[in-house]
Structure 1
Amino acid sequence: MTKNNNHSTNSTTFFPNYQLFLPMDIGVNISESSPVRVISKLLEGLDYRYLMQAYSKNKGCKHKIEADKMFFIIAYAMFDSVSTTRAIEKNCRENINYMWILRGSSAPDHNTVARFISSCKIEIEDLFYQLINKLIELNEIDLENVFIDGTKIEANANKYTFVWKKAVNKFYEKLKIKVNDFWHSFNENNNTEFNDIYEIEKHLEKEILDKNIEFVYGKGVRKTQQQRDYETVTSYIAKESEYSMHLKICGNRNSYSKTDKDAMFMRMKEDYMKNGQLKPAYNLQIGVNSEYIVGLDLFPNPTDVRTLIPFLSVLESKNLKFRNIVADAGYESEENYEYLFNNNYTPYIKPQNYEKQKTRKFKQDISKAENMSFNEETDTYTCANNQKLEFKYTLKQKNRSGYISEKKVYECNNCEGCPFALKCKNTSHNKKLYVSDNFLRFRKQSQENIATEKGIMLRVNISIQVEGAFGVLKQNMNFKRFKYRERSKTKVEVLLFAIGYNLRKYVHKKVQKREGMKLHELAVN
């Protein structure tokens, strides 16, 4: 009978009289004002029923740690700027705060943490908005102002796996010409009347089987005509299927990455290759109120203008409707203005030409409609040469989202011999003006809003609150690139970072005795 070898070693030889010391409850070493206790009190009021149901459905097995404890551990880890599953596992074994959260349960390994995040994506989002409602009850958040901005976060995708929609369309059109030529030549050479190449493929397969034709490859062999036609038609069908798949995945986007099909190639500010190369990324939109992130979503749009309406729809679906919408010039459009006014929002959006219209160059530009006199009775503009620009017709334009805007076209009757022609127009035809009355009316109202004392304070706060949130996420919490792939997984990743950010903000405001503070006041010199 073999003897079992004991490979364990004694690691306490430095203290020969090693024994168990009291107290056994590690909680006595954590002060009452410690962040882990403050966060525990805040998270106790959340409803974990849906999380427990989702976690218990995971293969029907009994878990070593309860769902609410697991969420607490991950939320505290994000607060502590610990974002990797292996680092969370290490802290659960070595850090006293994590041990206190476990309260006697065994420490989860990194696979358990990863499975929990992957299997409870919807429930984690629900807990994020429960936390927002809890902060509303504590008067930390109100429904008065929301500061909206976006940033691009690099996706976890390879750089050279891009698929460009324009290139696919170009090659697809060339393929259609080749297919059409092959189809005509095959019918002509074989005296057949097939309708498409799929019928030709079936015909060739049957003929090859009936005649028992063997395919040959390599040098020094001659392929039969049936083999050549069959290889051609199958290659065309494969390419057609590939291009169709690319276009289906692209949808309304211009590109996507093969390793993360939900990401789109965008120009990034962090250009570490110094060559302006496009990288796969997501456009992260967040809404901030009272320095807390109250909502977020990911978009494939490289710009912000078409993200405002769907982002506000996300907030409304969570019963978060704010009165004042504060955003920068990247969100200005007639469609966005109309949506805000029709849904009882007050826009504080900075016009795109807000800074430019203050310059001398803009004020002296005689080609601008803003620098021409307008007569409402006759509906005409008067140029620098005292010529009338009369209304001719209304031009309707439809954008990508389907919104139809109307522009009034004004044209001068005679620009011949005008001494200001070179400064006023870049064409040999008469001067034309394209004016959108709705857009100008909306812009004027928003500009009046931001010019008030309240508007000035909100403009100061958007740079403090929302830009400050991005600064903490990227620099302090090191959130510069996604670790997961696919939109559903990347969204839960950023949700966890937002939970950690909100917990950090809640603790810091309590320490600094700024509870309930909504806005930073203007500094008076």
Structure 2
Amino acid sequence: MTKNNNHSTNSTTFFPNYQLFLPMDIGVNISESSPVRVISKLLEGLDYRYLMQAYSKNKGRKHKIEADKMFFIIAYAMFDSVSTTRAIEKNCRENINYMWILRRSSAPDHNTVARFISSCKIEIEDLFYQLINKLIELNEIDLENVFIDGTKIEANANRYTFVWKKAVNKFYEKLKIKVNDFWHSFNENNSTEFNDIYEIEKHLEKEILDKNIEFVYGKGVRKTQQQRDYETVTSYIAKENEYSMHLKICGNRNSYSKTDKDATFMRMKEDYMKNGQLKPAYNLQIGVNSEYIVGLDLFPNPTDVRTLIPFLSVLESKNLKFRNIVADAGYESEENYEYLFNNNYTPYIKPQNYEKQKTRKFKHDISKVENMSFNEETDTYTCANNQKLEFKYTSKQKNRSGYISEKKVYECNNCEGCPFAVKCKSTSHNKKLYVADNFLRFRKQSQENIATEKGIMLRVNRSIQVEGAFGVLKQNMNFKRFKYRERSKTKVEVLLFAIGYNLRKYVHKKVQGREGMKLHKLAIN
């Protein structure tokens, strides 16, 4: 009995009731300067009414956690580089910061987190721009400069599920020939005058029912003529519907993926196979101001040039109109320049030939219009052989977006026997110049802008801020491939990453004492 009592006493010593030692408020273990408290103060001023309404309508479910808390948890998780729903569930059960956010609410499971994201897509975007306006009120963001750039993010789609528009058009044309041949042959053999194969299909269906014809399949059986014709017609119709659907989904694109129809096949920088293989992806465009991501959108265009105007329209729709547009050479076009100047923007866009202009080869290239003298009164150019190139006509060209650009065509009257012909032109005809006056005028103004002291500072900051943002998203936050499919869902995913990135930047700037800093100053040697 004595041994048993001693054993019982020892058990109480080694296995105490730990609940007696738990603090009543878990927040006592979180310092006032902790990132979770800083983020809480930043987010508490946002308007969550629309979010709560949308969340409450989620299939009539009774939610154990409020919508604003759920958003706070997901935003903090993205700040903490936790992007999967299962990892968020785990942290809500084990991490003290997530427990403090919950404040006595039960931890949500991964399905609850996923349902919240999928059911509140519009409201999450609204909260993102609310956060931007809150940062404007805190003087963290201004409406002076926006640094724009794009990158390609691989879609969550199989790499070999491509549909090429060019191939579909080719097969569609072949199918039309087959359909036309069958239609003529059927009318001749049956002495009928059907207008298309759809009328033939209805006729065959009625004939098969009236004559009670049974279809047969397999080897060693003989099909009736009606069955053969009916199978041919239905196969043609099915193929025609399939090709029409492919072309409708493609729209203005050249390709799409069958597993994510909004994704377009693009050439990626991350070429793992080293063979230039195209992969399904989205072109992510972001705008950065004061190191914060102030706007974003996803585009199916592999290049950046046709994304600038719709992206600026997105910012304008959110009441974010910046004065100075800073972008690289990939955004240069006459259409973009005209839009910027007409809408009171100041472009700081690097010309595509900016680096070439500095080379000796470019400066000594006598075929370039930049190296020919121009007489404005006579509207003529003078070549290296002192011959006049006179204006002949104006050429107009329409691009995919419908913009019409004009080029003035100048031609030399006589290039015969010219000693500079080899260096000046590659044809036996007289030299021709195609001059886009509007484009050259816009380019000159933009080049003058980037050559100023302010322009140099903005170009340096573009490299630091917007390219730095992509570096953090891809490397630090491991955002290299989408987890969701369809554009609406992938946009919410990147919005959550952008919210996490902005919260990181806000906390880091406060820690480093850089609140309100908009631009990095140029280093003085």
Aligned to 2:64, the other structure's residue is in SS state coil
Deviations 1:417-437 (A, max 9, x none): 112212111212111100011
Aligned equivalents of 1:211, 1:5: Cα separation in 2 = 98
Q: 2:29 is matched with which residue?
A: 29
- Deviation at 1:61? 2.8
Q: 1:8/1:503 Cα in 2 relative to 1: closer, same or farther (>3 Å)?
A: farther
Q: Which is worse superposed, 204-213 or 395-404? A: 204-213
- Deviation at 1:5? 28
Aligned to 2:69, the other structure's residue is in SS state helix
The question of whether the paired residues in 2 share the 8 Å contact of 1:52 and 1:67 is answered with yes
Deviations 1:152-194 (A, max 9, x none): 0000000000000010011111111111111001001110000
The question of whether the paired residues in 2 share the 8 Å contact of 1:391 and 1:408 is answered with yes
Aligned equivalents of 2:6, 2:219: Cα separation in 1 = 65
Aligned equivalents of 2:426, 2:43: Cα separation in 1 = 63
Deviations 1:221-274 (A, max 9, x none): 111111111111110000000000000000000000000000000000000111
Aligned equivalents of 1:285, 1:7: Cα separation in 2 = 69
Q: 1:10/1:421 Cα in 2 relative to 1: closer, same or farther (>3 Å)?
A: farther
- Deviation at 1:207? 0.9
Q: 1:242/1:6 Cα in 2 relative to 1: closer, same or farther (>3 Å)?
A: farther
Q: 1:441/1:22 Cα in 2 relative to 1: closer, same or farther (>3 Å)?
A: same
Q: 1:464/1:434 Cα in 2 relative to 1: closer, same or farther (>3 Å)?
A: same
Aligned equivalents of 1:233, 1:83: Cα separation in 2 = 51
Aligned to 2:174, the other structure's residue is in SS state helix
Deviations 1:113-160 (A, max 9, x none): 000000000000000000000000000000000000000000000000
Aligned to 2:470, the other structure's residue is in SS state helix
Aligned to 1:153, the other structure's residue is in SS state strand
- Deviation at 1:212? 1.4
Query: Runs of 5+ in structure 2 lacking a partner?
Result: none
- Deviation at 1:351? 0.3
- Deviation at 1:22? 4.1
Q: 1:107/1:524 Cα in 2 relative to 1: closer, same or farther (>3 Å)?
A: same
- Deviation at 1:220? 1.3
Q: Which is worse superposed, 284-293 or 17-26? A: 17-26
Aligned equivalents of 1:246, 1:253: Cα separation in 2 = 11
Identical pairs, percent: 97
The question of whether the paired residues in 2 share the 8 Å contact of 1:153 and 1:284 is answered with yes
Aligned to 2:330, the other structure's residue is in SS state helix
The question of whether the paired residues in 2 share the 8 Å contact of 1:12 and 1:18 is answered with no
Aligned to 1:157, the other structure's residue is in SS state coil
Q: 1:9/1:468 Cα in 2 relative to 1: closer, same or farther (>3 Å)?
A: farther
TM-score (norm. length: structure 1): 0.97
Aligned to 1:156, the other structure's residue is in SS state coil
Q: 1:177 is matched with which residue?
A: 177
The question of whether the paired residues in 2 share the 8 Å contact of 1:395 and 1:406 is answered with yes
- Deviation at 1:62? 2.2
Q: Which is worse superposed, 414-423 or 439-448? A: 414-423
Q: 1:459/1:18 Cα in 2 relative to 1: closer, same or farther (>3 Å)?
A: closer
Q: 1:394/1:293 Cα in 2 relative to 1: closer, same or farther (>3 Å)?
A: same
Q: Which is worse superposed, 210-219 or 37-46? A: 210-219
The question of whether the paired residues in 2 share the 8 Å contact of 1:46 and 1:131 is answered with yes
Aligned equivalents of 2:7, 2:213: Cα separation in 1 = 67
Aligned equivalents of 2:443, 2:369: Cα separation in 1 = 15
- Deviation at 1:8? 21
Q: Could you list the structure 1 runs, at least 4 aligned residues long, displaced by more than 4 angstroms after superposition.
A: 1-14, 16-19
Q: 2:250 is matched with which residue?
A: 250
Q: 1:71/1:3 Cα in 2 relative to 1: closer, same or farther (>3 Å)?
A: farther
- Deviation at 1:217? 1.5
Aligned to 2:389, the other structure's residue is in SS state strand
Aligned equivalents of 2:138, 2:7: Cα separation in 1 = 56
Q: 1:6/1:308 Cα in 2 relative to 1: closer, same or farther (>3 Å)?
A: farther
TM-score (norm. length: structure 2): 0.97
- Deviation at 1:2? 37
- Deviation at 1:385? 1.2
Q: 1:421/1:57 Cα in 2 relative to 1: closer, same or farther (>3 Å)?
A: same
- RMSD of the TM alignment (CA)? 3.8
- Deviation at 1:60? 2.4
Q: 1:3/1:352 Cα in 2 relative to 1: closer, same or farther (>3 Å)?
A: farther
